[in-house]
Amino acid sequence: HYIAGPLAGVFLADQGAEVIQVLRPDATVWDANSQAALARGKRVLHANLKNPVQRQQVLDLAADCDVVLENFRPGVMDRLGLGFDAIAARNPAVIYVSMPGYSRHDPRVALPAWDGTISAACGLFTDLSVGGAALDLPPTFTPLPLPSVYAGLWGAISAMAALYARQQHGGGDRIEAPLMDAAMS
């Protein structure tokens, strides 16, 4: 879904994980190069999560996996029956990593949370030039999707750390790496 989740999956696949990306059958895809980069090292399962039979197939798959990555708005996966509680009930050792725009505890949770709005909210659309003010240069900013990139990175790192911790205590974990928080890093 968008960039953060697929990118976290790429990082994990690059480390040798078997990654299965669940895509809506009618999902829009990126241009060929971007799609190839975000799908690298993964198998793709097309499933409509609003279809009870296909949703059950995904739930059955999640019941036997190590990590679930998702980057929907908080509450979406719960409404679909694929939230942390539903999956952990069947798979107590699961590492569940959410990468929403805003944390489920943030008062802005219901606001649109695309890279541009997150970048504006956390100050990435201010002058980022090193010597711009001193040399009287025009302001510069990055159009790169930094909130999603950093959330994907933090999502993958936290999944690996949680897998390591699971070796010590045997239990699963629920992790949240919001784009807003990740961009601030």
pLDDT class of 128 with cuts at 50, 70, 90: low
**What span, in angstroms and rounded, lies between the C-alpha atoms of 29 and 177?**
24
Instruction: State the pTM of this model.
Output: 0.90
pLDDT class of 29 with cuts at 50, 70, 90: confident
Strands of the sheet containing 95-98, edge to edge, are 67-70, 95-98, 173-176
pLDDT class of 99 with cuts at 50, 70, 90: very high
Q: Which amino acid is at 77?
A: M
